[in-house]
């Protein structure tokens, strides 16, 4: 996966064009081209703008980084906020958003940020899922349960709430889509971070000579956990659950073990091949993505773990099958009595199919929600249709939507999609090792800059906003 597209300062970006594209909600193909559509292809930023205030605000700059607050940064935040609030009011048929817009604008001008209402947060998180163009499972976007933990900032509390998230999402096997939203980034205080890419991750122990025990995808995280004092399991196993690594604002990263009874795992067996169970494979029930930030109306929630349920190929074709992961195809083929000396007998294809059969069967037998790629492909096309009925275009990235097994046997293969970026959305943080956190000193300076910026700008509101203030300003200020 090419994580290098994401600049290290992306946490301080204001949403809009030029955002990092490393979104991940599904299987991960080797080759992805970051195809940006022209801005006009984005229904919220462009096409629908005429219905609300967004039509009047200046276009957002191509990008904005942590160099400091400038007038354009505040304008961008304002534009994003207006766009989101307008969308929220329109889709929920709440009437004119004027009063709320006025409030939000005041808050941004005085403090450099604003606070979403619980209803806005819930809607924003759901629409972030709806806008995730790499996710095939979006039919149920409205069912996302939103846990509002924005007041939670201390690392032990974040770890504890993450464990509660796991339990609530697992729900005894009837998996529920859940997101837990922790404190947002604010000009004077960055929000907390979870360094694990998912709440449940298996350790990848480097043994030297390039060999890894466990999941090679997690060697960096495992090393970091070690460096922070995590002793690792003895002996090292292939499926050792890593602790949570959490960083609260301005503090060092801390290590938090996840209680074993919060992690539901499924031993992988095959309905026909008795020997399969002896491979000792297992996987966890709930994929809770925790290294992506949630962006709603210009506000960045850097820790907002979210989950759906698995589609079998994620585990069968990728996690257990990829040569850079658990690399099980040759072992399975050998047990199946297939020669692995030539590719021509399609031993990889046959082993992968049986591995996928085993994953689906094991989850179902254990009573744990999982979907298969055929079912999910049909549902995704239903989702697109439903979105179109609501007058919304559905962004989709073919390279991520098309399943990594039996691709052309699924209907999602046989068409193209429009892909475009619109917020709210989820974006990946820079990878471990490339992250930078602004110091408190820097942040303090930015707050001062906000205050300084505000003064000369007071008299130069955009005309539509001045009108608005005249309409509602007096009563609101009192």
Rounded Cα distance, 445 and 439, in Å: 10
Catalytic residue among 138, 150, 193, 446: 138
Residue 49 or 315: which CB sits closer to ligand ARG?
Answer: 315
**Number of residues binding to ligand ARG, judged by CB under 6 A:** 14
Would residue 135 show up in a list of annotated catalytic residues for this protein?
Answer: yes
Residues 6+ apart with CB under 8 A from 137: 25, 26, 308, 309, 311, 371, 376, 379, 380
**Which H or E element spans position 411?**
none
**What is the rounded CA–CA span in Å between residue 432 and residue 228?**
14
- Size of the chain in residues: 478
User: For the range 99-104, what are the long-range contacts, defined as Cβ-Cβ under 8 Å and sequence gap of 24 or more?
Assistant: 99/472, 99/476, 101/53, 101/468, 102/465, 102/468, 102/469, 102/472, 102/473, 102/476, 103/476
- Nearest distance, CB of residue 314 and ligand ARG, angstroms: 4
Residue 135 CB, nearest distance to ligand ARG (Å)?
Answer: 7
Q: Which positions from 309 to 348 touch ligand ARG by CB under 6 A, shown as an x/- string?
A: -xx--xx--xx-----------------------------
User: Which of 73, 286 has the CB closer to ligand ARG?
Assistant: 286
Q: Is 138 a catalytic residue?
A: yes
245 counts as binding ligand ARG under rule CB under 6 A: no
Report, in Å, the least distance between residue 373 CB and ligand ARG: 11
Residue 145 C-beta: closest distance to ligand ARG, Å: 14
Q: Would you give the binding string for ligand ARG spanning residues 271-300, x where CB under 6 A is met?
A: ----------------x-x-----------
The token pair that represents 123 in the structure block: 């809607």
* Sign of the CA dihedral with 386 first, then 389, 391, and 396 last: positive
CA-based nearest residue to 296, from 117, 444, 437 = 117
**Residue 76 token pair:** 């961008």
Active site residue 42: no
The pattern of x and - marking residues 16 through 45 that bind ligand ARG according to CB under 6 A reads ---------xxx------------------
Which residue carries 């464990």 as its tokens? 163
State the nearest-atom distance from the C-beta of 412 to ligand ARG, in Å: 15
What 3-state DSSP class applies to 370? strand
Active-site residue, 314 included: yes
Which of 116/318 has CB closer to ligand ARG? 318
Cα(176)–Cα(287) distance, rounded to whole angstroms? 11
What are the residue numbers of the active site? Answer: 135, 138, 309, 314
Chain residues binding ligand ARG by CB under 6 A are 25-27, 137, 287, 289, 307-308, 310-311, 314-315, 318-319
């Amino acid at each position: 996966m090419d994580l290098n597209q994401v600049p290290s300062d992306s946490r301080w970006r204001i949403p809009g064009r030029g955002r990092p594209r490393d979104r991940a909600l599904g299987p991960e193909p080797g080759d992805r081209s970051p195809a940006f559509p022209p801005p006009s292809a984005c229904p919220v930023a462009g096409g629908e703008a005429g219905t609300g205030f967004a039509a009047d605000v200046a276009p957002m700059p191509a990008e904005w980084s942590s160099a400091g607050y400038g007038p354009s940064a505040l304008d961008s935040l304002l534009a994003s906020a207006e766009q989101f609030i307008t969308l929220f009011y329109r889709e929920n048929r709440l009437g004119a958003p004027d009063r709320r817009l006025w409030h939000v604008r005041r808050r941004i001008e005085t403090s450099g940020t604003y606070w979403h209402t619980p209803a806005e947060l819930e809607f924003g998180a759901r629409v972030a899922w709806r806008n995730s163009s790499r996710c095939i499972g979006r039919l149920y976007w409205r069912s996302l349960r939103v846990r509002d933990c924005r007041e939670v900032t201390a690392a032990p509390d974040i770890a504890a709430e993450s464990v509660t998230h796991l339990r609530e999402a697992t729900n005894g096997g009837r998996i529920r889509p859940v997101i837990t939203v922790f404190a947002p980034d604010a000009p004077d205080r960055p929000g907390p971070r979870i360094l694990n890419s998912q709440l449940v991750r298996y350790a990848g122990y480097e043994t030297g000579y390039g060999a890894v025990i466990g999941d090679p995808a997690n060697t960096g995280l495992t090393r970091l956990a070690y460096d922070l004092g995590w002793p690792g399991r003895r002996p090292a196993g292939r499926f050792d659950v890593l602790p949570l690594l959490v960083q609260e604002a301005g503090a060092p990263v801390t290590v938090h073990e996840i209680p074993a009874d919060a992690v539901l795992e499924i031993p992988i067996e095959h309905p026909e091949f008795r020997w399969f169970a002896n491979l000792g494979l297992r996987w966890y029930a709930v994929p809770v993505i925790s290294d992506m930030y949630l962006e709603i109306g210009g506000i960045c929630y850097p820790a907002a773990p979210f989950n759906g349920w698995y589609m079998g190929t994620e585990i069968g074709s990728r996690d257990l099958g990829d040569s850079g992961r658990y690399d099980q195809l040759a072992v399975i083929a050998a047990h199946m009595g297939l020669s692995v000396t030539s590719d021509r007998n399609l031993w990889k294809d046959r082993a992968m199919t049986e591995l996928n059969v085993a994953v689906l069967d094991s989850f179902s037998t254990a009573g744990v929600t999982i979907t298969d790629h055929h079912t999910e492909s049909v549902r995704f096309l239903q989702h697109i249709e439903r979105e179109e009925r609501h007058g919304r275009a559905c962004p989709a990235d073919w390279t991520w939507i098309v399943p990594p097994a039996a691709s052309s046997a699924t209907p999602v293969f046989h068409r193209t999609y429009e892909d475009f970026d619109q917020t709210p959305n989820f974006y990946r943080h820079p990878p471990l090792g490339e992250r930078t956190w602004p110091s408190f000193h820097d942040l303090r300076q930015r707050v001062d800059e906000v205050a300084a910026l505000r003064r000369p700008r007071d008299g130069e509101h955009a005309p539509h906003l001045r009108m608005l203030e005249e309409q509602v300003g007096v009563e609101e200020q009192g």
